[in-house]
């Protein structure tokens, strides 16, 4: 399997010529110009990724759920116990979690990757173990992981993306599980966008005002430590194992030339890391939804991405990416299947004619 | 087939007990409470419609596209010629329009109903002719139609909804085609919400500033004429044939106990009429998307509906309703298929336990 460096070297910028052809085609389809709004711009971006117009429908799709634990939980940043990460991995394997229901609904396959769960997991179908370490260290006190560990997690993600596309996947969705992972995500987003810790730190799975203030202080301390350092070091210092693997997965998807559909704030943080390491991968990214976590909107704005959905969701797991997949696929079908004014014999508006 | 009055008499308020059961169930599923955002509230509303929890998945679905022409086109409110309505009906029949592509994508059937196209249409598969009259009169100068004609169009819609549910449809989507129909929609929305004509009149398929000012003047004149009059008279005076049929269809769907998934501003105007005539039908309505037409947001706010999608779309035809269908269906599957904390052996957060 190619490692992260191989994948990074293979990423090429998306194709502006195919995008221009798609833009022109949108204007000839039987609808007022622009009337399909962001479905049109999304289809144009898919053409740029596929380097042809109309672009193929991005299917079959796979959602990879990377799981890891977080030493920063010792700071009291989440009300949920760490054991829930492993329990939820078992729930994914049993098919009972939101991501299973939503992936099944949209015809996507679920793959779960243990890249850093603190417990030893019982073997289960659909769960791959590539454990880099048993949870990160407490990023409030020390580096979350070493640069070598971050690189290893990047390799795990890049290799999986390559493998999935080789097996036939034509759209990669991001998923994550890790109790406490909104804290490293907020730290990465603050560090990589320049926003303040207050502006990008949210309530995660549900915390009160005092706990939120503590969480902001943890994020602020972590961010101060990484000021001016290169993105790989930022990732190692204040990131998470599943976030690093997601960043590798994003780059691996871009290297393989397929669209990568992002879930919420954890994926947004990983995408910022990926784009900082390999700027040309940004053209392959599609934002499934905007999470209610404030860091999500900040990261998407920095990446120049508009979310397909905005349903006040904040679950993670890949739930928002799955729910957005039919919209992404529809944007390709519009370009491929709609009649043109000419082919359908429909009059164009006089001032366009 | 039952007529509109029969349907109206059969509408009962949605079931608060089933909604409460669904609310309680959302709290036991393996996710932080509320983390699926509006997917959760949507599932709760589906339970209220179905009068049971979990609610059945709303499928199979049918989108009915009601087509009609508008005498107000004589005022220059649209750059498109009237013949496009009939041409687009032919495009629907041939399967080349956006609604065909999007309905096919989400597994919905398309039925087209000529309730008021100004031309005689060639017979085509999937196109039903229930023409009430050949286009409305110019609502800027006189009543768009008589009360008897409005009632007849309401009957067409109610009867079709009943027929579709009898044939097996479990979700009704609204669609529309009618060059010029954003003008009667704006007039209905202004009249029924009390908003100003300026606030609810939009650019439709694309008009310049001067044409927009003329369109606002037309809407204002029409609205002034119907002040204080009962909703059926308002519909006849300033509405459209496809809008009246859609209002009947909405009430027919509610009478049959199925969710009705609304498309954009035309459907929103029809839903306002339906809710004014039969208030209990409001509980059966789901807003597929928010159109960029300003009347859409105004109508949805008045109806207390939050849109599932917000993709800057303004095409009509049922395109936004089709695109939202997978989200609506997903909300039911979450309630039916997700594991509970107890069944999955996942720890609840301590302060919830």
pTM above 0.80, yes or no: yes
Contacts of A324 (CB under 8 A, 6+ apart): A261, A286, A288, A289, A307, A308, A309
Distance from CA of B129 to the nearest CA of A (A): 21
Max Cα distance, chain B (Å): 69
State the average pLDDT over residues A279-290.
98
Contact: A323, B326; criterion CB under 8 Å:
yes
Helix orientation angle between A182-193 and A265-277, rounded to the nearest 10 degrees: 40
Is the ipTM reported for this complex over the cut 0.90? yes
What is the structure's pLDDT at A282? 98
Q: How far is it, in rounded angstroms, from Cα B60 to Cα A298?
A: 39
What is the structure's pLDDT at A259? 99
3-state secondary structure of B260: strand
Contact: A311, B39; criterion CB under 8 Å:
yes
Give residue A206's pLDDT band: very low, low, confident or very high (50, 70, 90): confident
Residues from chain B that touch A311, judged by Cβ atoms under 8 A, are: 36-39, 308, 327
Q: CA of B205: which chain A residue's CA is closest?
A: A32
For the cut 90, the answer to whether the pLDDT of residue B83 exceeds it is: yes
In the stretch 218-237 of chain B, residues with CB closer than 8 A to chain A read none
Distance from CA of B320 to the nearest CA of A (A): 9
CA torsion sign for A58, A64, A65, A67 is: negative
Q: Which CATH architecture has domain B61-329?
A: 3-Layer(aba) Sandwich (3.40)
Distance from CA of A4 to the nearest CA of B (A): 32
DSSP string, B24-85: HHHHHBSS-TTTTTHHHHHHHHHHHHHTSSSPPP--SEEEEEEEE--GGGGGT--SS-THHH
Q: Which residues of A are catalytic?
A: 317
Share of chain A above pLDDT 70, in %: 98
* Cross-strand pairs, B287: B262
Residue A119 sits at the chain B interface (C-beta within 8 Å): no
Q: How many CB atoms lie within 10 A of CB A280?
A: 15
Give the position of tokens 């650019």: B203
Q: CA of B337: which chain A residue's CA is closest?
A: A101
Tokens of A92: 């994914």
* Three-state helix/strand/coil letters over A57-111: CCCCEEEEEEEECCHHHHHCCCCCCCHHHHHHHHHHHHCCCHHHHHHHHHCEEEE
Tokens of A165: 């596309």
Contacts of A220 (CB under 8 A, 6+ apart): A190, A197
Contacts of A98 (CB under 8 A, 6+ apart): A315, A317, A319, B29, B30, B31, B36, B334, B338
Q: How many CB atoms lie within 10 A of CB A298?
A: 24
Q: CA of B321: which chain A residue's CA is closest?
A: A327
Contact: A39, B96; criterion CB under 8 Å:
no
What is the structure's pLDDT at B350? 66
Residue B98 sits at the chain A interface (C-beta within 8 Å): yes
* Cross-strand pairs, A257: none
- B90-121 pLDDT tens trace: 999 999 999 999 999 999 999 999 999 999 99
- B217-255 pLDDT tens trace: 999 999 999 999 999 999 999 999 999 999 999 999 999
Share of chain B above pLDDT 70, in %: 98
What is the structure's pLDDT at B1? 60
Contact: A97, B30; criterion CB under 8 Å:
yes
In the stretch 60-79 of chain A, residues with CB closer than 8 A to chain B read 79
Q: How far is it, in rounded angstroms, from Cα A149 to Cα A141?
A: 18
Q: Which residues of B are catalytic?
A: 317
For the cut 70, the answer to whether the pLDDT of residue A351 exceeds it is: no
3-state secondary structure of B11: coil
Degrees (nearest 5) of the Cα angle B254, B271, B332? 50
Contact: B101, A323; criterion CB under 8 Å:
no
Contacts of B223 (CB under 8 A, 6+ apart): B187, B190, B191, B197, B238
- B127-171 pLDDT tens trace: 999 999 999 999 999 999 999 999 999 999 999 999 999 999 999
Residues from chain B that touch A79, judged by Cβ atoms under 8 A, are: 349-351
Contacts of B353 (CB under 8 A, 6+ apart): none
Best mutation target among B344, B345, B351, B353 (most A Cβ atoms within 10 Å) is B344
Give the position of tokens 């949210």: A202
What is the structure's pLDDT at A353? 39
Residues from chain A that touch B333, judged by Cβ atoms under 8 A, are: 101-102, 104-105
Q: CA of A314: which chain B residue's CA is closest?
A: B35
Q: Which CATH number fits domain B4-56+335-344: 3.40.50.460, 2.60.40.10, 1.10.1610.10, 3.40.190.80?
A: 1.10.1610.10
Contact: B98, A33; criterion CB under 8 Å:
no
Residue B122 sits at the chain A interface (C-beta within 8 Å): no
Contacts of A155 (CB under 8 A, 6+ apart): A3, A4, A248
Residue B12 sits at the chain A interface (C-beta within 8 Å): no
Residues from chain A that touch B309, judged by Cβ atoms under 8 A, are: 309, 327
Tokens of A73: 């939980």
Contact: A334, B98; criterion CB under 8 Å:
yes
Best mutation target among B59, B96, B288, B321 (most A Cβ atoms within 10 Å) is B96
Contact: B31, A98; criterion CB under 8 Å:
yes
Give residue A56's pLDDT band: very low, low, confident or very high (50, 70, 90): very high
Q: CA of B339: which chain A residue's CA is closest?
A: A96
Residue A87 sits at the chain B interface (C-beta within 8 Å): yes
Q: CA of A177: which chain B residue's CA is closest?
A: B31
Distance from CA of B343 to the nearest CA of A (A): 9
- B9-66 pLDDT tens trace: 999 999 999 999 999 999 999 999 999 999 999 999 999 999 999 999 999 999 999 9
Residue A210 sits at the chain B interface (C-beta within 8 Å): no
Identify each DSSP E strand in chain A by its residue range: 61-68, 108-116, 127-129, 171-177, 260-262, 285-287
3-state secondary structure of B289: strand
Q: How many CB atoms lie within 10 A of CB A353?
A: 7
Q: CA of B345: which chain A residue's CA is closest?
A: A87
Q: To the nearest whole number, what is the mean pLDDT of chain B?
A: 96
CATH 3.40.50.10210 in chain B: give the residue spans.
61-329
Q: Give the full edge-to-edge strand order of the sheet including B260-262.
A: B127-129, B108-116, B61-68, B171-177, B260-262, B285-287
Buried b / exposed e over B150-175, threshold 16 CB at 10 Å, is: bbbbbbbbbbbbbbbbeeebbbbbbb
For the cut 60, the answer to whether the pLDDT of residue A122 exceeds it is: yes
What is the structure's pLDDT at A176? 98
Q: To the nearest whole number, what is the mean pLDDT of chain A?
A: 96
H/E run at residue A188 = helix A182-193
- A136-160 pLDDT tens trace: 999 999 999 999 999 999 999 999 9
- B272-307 pLDDT tens trace: 999 999 999 999 999 999 999 999 999 999 999 999
Contact: A96, B38; criterion CB under 8 Å:
no
Nearest CA to A34 among B201, B108, B98?
Answer: B98
State the average pLDDT over residues B257-269.
98
Q: How far is it, in rounded angstroms, from Cα A24 to Cα A15?
A: 15
């Amino acid at each position: 399997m190619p490692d992260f460096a191989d994948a990074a070297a293979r990423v090429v910028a998306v194709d502006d010529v195919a995008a221009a052809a798609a833009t022109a085609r949108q204007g000839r389809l039987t609808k007022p110009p622009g009337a399909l709004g962001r479905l049109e711009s999304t289809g144009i971006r898919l053409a740029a990724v596929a380097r042809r117009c109309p672009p193929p429908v991005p299917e079959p799709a796979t959602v990879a759920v990377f799981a890891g634990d977080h030493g920063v939980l010792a700071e009291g940043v989440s009300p949920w116990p760490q054991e829930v990460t492993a329990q939820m991995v078992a729930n994914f394997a049993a098919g009972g979690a939101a991501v299973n229901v939503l992936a099944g609904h949209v015809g996507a396959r679920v793959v779960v990757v243990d890249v850093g769960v603190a417990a030893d997991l019982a073997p289960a179908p659909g769960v791959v173990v590539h454990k880099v370490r048993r949870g990160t260290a407490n990023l409030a006190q020390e580096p979350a992981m070493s640069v070598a560990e971050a690189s290893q997690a990047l390799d795990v993600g890049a290799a999986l993306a390559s493998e999935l596309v080789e097996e036939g996947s034509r759209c990669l969705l991001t998923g994550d599980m890790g109790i406490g992972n909104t804290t490293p995500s907020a730290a990465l987003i603050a560090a990589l966008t320049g926003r303040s810790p207050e502006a990008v730190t949210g309530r995660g799975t549900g915390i009160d005002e005092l706990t939120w203030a503590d969480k902001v202080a943890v994020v602020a301390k972590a961010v101060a430590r990484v000021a001016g350092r290169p993105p790989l070091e930022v990732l190692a210092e204040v990131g998470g194992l599943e976030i690093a693997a997601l960043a590798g997965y994003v780059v691996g998807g871009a290297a393989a030339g397929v669209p990568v559909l992002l879930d919420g704030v954890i994926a947004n943080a990983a995408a910022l890391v990926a784009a900082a390491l390999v700027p040309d991968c940004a053209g392959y990214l599609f934002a499934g939804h905007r999470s209610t976590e404030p860091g999500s909107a900040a990261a998407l704005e920095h990446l120049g991405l508009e979310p397909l959905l905005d349903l006040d969701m904040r679950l993670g797991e890949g739930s928002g990416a799955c729910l957005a997949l039919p919209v992404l696929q529809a944007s390709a079908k519009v370009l491929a299947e709609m009649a043109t004014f000419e082919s359908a014999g429909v009059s164009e508006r006089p001032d366009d004619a």
